[in-house]
Chain A
Amino acid sequence: GEDVEQSLFLSVREGDSSVINCTYTDSSSTYLYWYKQEPGAGLQLLTYIFSNMDMKQDQRLTVLLNKKDKHLSLRIADTQTGDSAIYFCAESETGANNLFFGTGTRLTVIP
C-alpha cells in the first residue's frame, strides 16, 4: 500500500522559517496536501499541490514538490506561536477520493 512518511517533531523559534518534510512512495499520486491539526480539533486543509507542479506559494506558505524523489515540503515563513500544531501531509491518486496520510509532524514554536 501507499507509504507516506514524516519526521515526528520540529521546534523553531518565533519569527524563523519552518520546513516540514514528507516522502511518499506512490508514483501515481495526483494531489498532495498539507493539513493542520490544532489541539483537540479536527484537521483543516492548509494547501494542496497538483503533481504536475513543483511549487506553490500562498501567503506565508510555500509548498515544494520533487516528483522524481517523491519528496514534498511545507515552508512556513515568519513562524508564529499560533502555527504550533500537528501538520500532516497526504496524497491521493487519479480518480480516487481516498487520502493516505503521513504520521504527522508536531511543530512547536518557541517564543
Chain B
Amino acid sequence: DAGITQSPRHKVTETGTPVTLRCHQTENHRYMYWYRQDPGHGLRLIHYSYGVKDTDKGEVSDGYSVSRSKTEDFLLTLESATSSQTSVYFCAIGVVGSYNEQFFGPGTRLTVL
C-alpha cells in the first residue's frame, strides 16, 4: 500500500459545512494527488502537488482547495460542501521512475446531505 493512509475513511456531513480530508504518506514521495471516483466517470483529478507548497489544479477543482505544508501530508478541503461532492475520494502518490506508477490510498467515502 506504499504507506498511504486516508482519514477519515467515512464521513457524513451537511450541505454548507467545510470538510477536510487528510492523506498521509510515510515514504517521502514528492508527488501526491487527490481524485474523486463517481459511477460512470472513473477517477477524475481534483488537485495535485509536486512538493511542499507546490500545488496545482486538476480537471475538477472547483469547490476544492488543497494544502501541502509537509511532504507527508496532503489535505483536501471542501470549502462549503454540496451534495454534488458526495463521492469516494482517493489520494495517490506518484513514483517518478521507470514507468511513473501511482499508488493509491484506501479511499474516503463522503456523503453530503
Chain A interfacial positions (CB closer than 8 Å to B): 1, 4, 6, 8, 30-31, 33, 40-45, 48, 50, 88, 92, 96-104
Chain B interfacial positions (CB closer than 8 Å to A): 1, 31, 33, 35, 40-45, 48, 58-59, 90, 92, 94, 96, 99-107
- A1-B59, A31-B99, A98-B48 known; A88 vs B42 contact (CB < 8 Å): yes
**Least Cβ–Cβ distance between A46 and chain B, in angstroms:** 11
**B40 touches which of A31, A44, A103 (Cβ 8 Å):** A103
Give the complex CA separation of A42 and B89 in angstroms: 10
Q: Which residues of A contact B101 (CB under 8 A)?
A: 33, 45, 48
Question: How many pairs of residues, A versus B, come closer than 8 Å at their CB atoms?
Answer: 54
Interface-centre pick from A41, A43, A100, A104 (highest chain B CB count, 10 A):
A43
**Least Cβ–Cβ distance between B22 and chain A, in angstroms:** 15
Q: Which residues of B contact A8 (CB under 8 A)?
A: 40
Interface-centre pick from B43, B96, B107 (highest chain A CB count, 10 A):
B43
Give the complex CA separation of A104 and B35 in angstroms: 14
- Asked if B94 and A97 make an inter-chain contact with CB atoms under 8 angstroms apart, the answer reads yes
Q: Which partner residue on chain A sits nearest B6 by CB separation?
A: A42
- Asked if B41 and A103 make an inter-chain contact with CB atoms under 8 angstroms apart, the answer reads yes
Q: Which residues of A contact B45 (CB under 8 A)?
A: 98-100
**Least Cβ–Cβ distance between B109 and chain A, in angstroms:** 9
Q: Which residues of B contact A48 (CB under 8 A)?
A: 99, 101
- A48-B101, A92-B100, A97-B96 known; A43 vs B40 contact (CB < 8 Å): no
**Least Cβ–Cβ distance between A4 and chain B, in angstroms:** 8
- Asked if B43 and A43 make an inter-chain contact with CB atoms under 8 angstroms apart, the answer reads yes
**Least Cβ–Cβ distance between A12 and chain B, in angstroms:** 21
